[in-house]
Amino acid sequence: MKILVLNCGSSSIKYALYDMDDHSVVTSGGIEKIGLPDSFIKIKVNGKKIQMDEPVPEHTAGVQLIFRVLTEGENAVLKDLHELDAVGHRMVHGGERFSESVLITDEVMRDFAACNDLAPLHNPANIKGVNAVKALLPEIPQVGVFDTAFHQTMPDYAYMYATPYELYEKYGVRRYGFHGTSHRYVSRRVLDFLGIEKTEGTKVITCHIGNGASIAAVKDGKCVDTSMGLTPLEGLIMGTRSGDIDAGAVTFIMDKEGLDTKGLSNLLNKKSGLLGVSGGASDFRDILKGIEEGNDHARLAKEMYTYRIKKYIGQYAAAMGGVDIIVFTGGAGENQWEVREGATDGLEFLGVKMDVEKNHSCRAKEMTISADDSKVKVCVIPTDEELMIATDTLNIVSKL
């Protein structure tokens, strides 16, 4: 069975074609700068990386271009589109309605659109992707896999905010969490990697550390808490997002800087985090370079960044009554030993004992980086959200 995975953003579409007979990626790529004059498509196929400038005015044209790349020219991997068996979509905010992946129907799309207020940049783009596929291949089954679904097992005392309850009833104001597909994948994969057959009795903390970053507490295979909230702004310090901040500081800044809500959102989401503290670097690799050059703001950004991760690990160990496994994933989590070192330094009281050499040598591969006698296993598990989406799509479509 051949399944196409689509991840539609506001101005981009990422894709991957899977042969689910062996779970292999046939080809992958993405379109960037949709709606702009300098839009282009990147393609990975047969060991080659290709980039082509192509006019892509909107998402339907983008999906059409991806279909054309799959079936036409020297890089084609399908004879025609009817070789596709299904399409799986990354859907960002499913609210409380979706606690698992579903076959997309008109009713599902109505319920998903009702969540647009909770993710005004992402959900409408996801809807455009579904509609684009429907316009071009009206009979093909499509499956929605929601970023928020994995976190729907959180108890109410973990997801509620201490604001007037009527705000939850009227507007759904609560913690939802994101990166759920990644947290679900790595929390399950690490058990397989360590040879643990049952999820019952396990206490896992998953750290998805990239430009966007979040942590989840996973007990008995189910999420019981996560760091992102109503929006992806809450929680860890990120590339350009502030993470946790006193709401009083927010109103203070608005008054002093004369900001409206749009200006404040731009400040906290796009001008803060590593970028704001360091004075110009949002990528952790650039932060490390800045430290080497003697930039003390870069040093401060690094220490704040890893300290926040460590604090959340401690919180979630307390929430679960302990921790058996800590998993690092995401761009920085998989590749930067400095992040993992800073985030675990001082956690010996929890039973964490790192192997310095293993940690320094690990880059983007499945590996245990804690010492052999560490009570808590610390592992690196590269995430694979696209495979998770393809697998969910296969499971749902196979039952039709």
Q: Are 362 and 380 within 8 A, CB to CB?
A: yes
Of 112, 146, 180, which closes a domain? 146
User: Within this chain, do residues 7 and 142 fall inside the same structural domain, yes or no?
Assistant: yes
Residue 11 confidence (pLDDT): 87
Residues 131 and 218 in one domain: no
Q: What is the pLDDT of residues 236-255, one digit of tens each?
A: 999 999 999 999 999 999 99
Please indicate, yes or no, whether residues 77 and 207 belong to a single structural domain of this protein.
no
Q: Do both 251 and 356 map to the same domain? A: yes
- Give me the CATH number covering residue 265: 3.30.420.40
Rounded (5°) CA angle 182-186-191: 160
The structural domain count of the chain equals 2
pLDDT at 322: 98
Beta strands in 335-397 (DSSP E): 367-368, 377-380
Mean pLDDT of 115-138: 91
Which of 38, 53, 147, 372 is the catalytic position?
Answer: 147
Of the candidates 317, 319, 334, which has an alpha carbon nearest to the alpha carbon of residue 213?
Answer: 334
Range of the domain at 258: 197-380
Confidence of residue 115 (pLDDT cuts 50, 70, 90): very high
Give the C-alpha separation, 35 to 154, whole Å: 38
Phi, psi of 88 (to 5 degrees): -110, 135
Instruction: Decide if 192 is inside a domain.
Output: no
Same domain, yes or no, for 105 and 40? yes
- CA 184 to mean position of chain CA atoms: 10
> What is each CA distance from 317 to 21, 202, 241, 269, in whole angstroms?
39, 12, 25, 28
Does one domain contain both 109 and 25? yes
Q: Is residue 12 part of a domain?
A: yes
Mean pLDDT, rounded, for 261-271: 95
pLDDT digits (tens, 9 = 90+) for 345-395: 999 999 999 999 999 999 999 999 999 999 999 999 999 999 999 999 999
- pTM for the complete prediction? 0.94
Q: Is residue 281 in a domain?
A: yes
For residue 231, give the nearest of 255, 261, 251 by alpha carbon. 261
Query: Which pLDDT band holds residue 9 (cuts at 50, 70, 90)?
Result: confident
Is 147 tagged catalytic? yes
Question: Distance between CA 366 and CA 283 in Å, rounded?
Answer: 23
Residue 57 reports pLDDT greater than 90 = yes
Q: How high is the pLDDT of residue 121?
A: 79
Q: Is residue 173 in a domain? A: no
pLDDT band with cut points at 50, 70 and 90 for residue 120 = confident
Q: Are residues 365 and 226 in the same domain?
A: yes
In a domain, 391, yes or no: no
Same domain? For 229 and 128 the reply is no
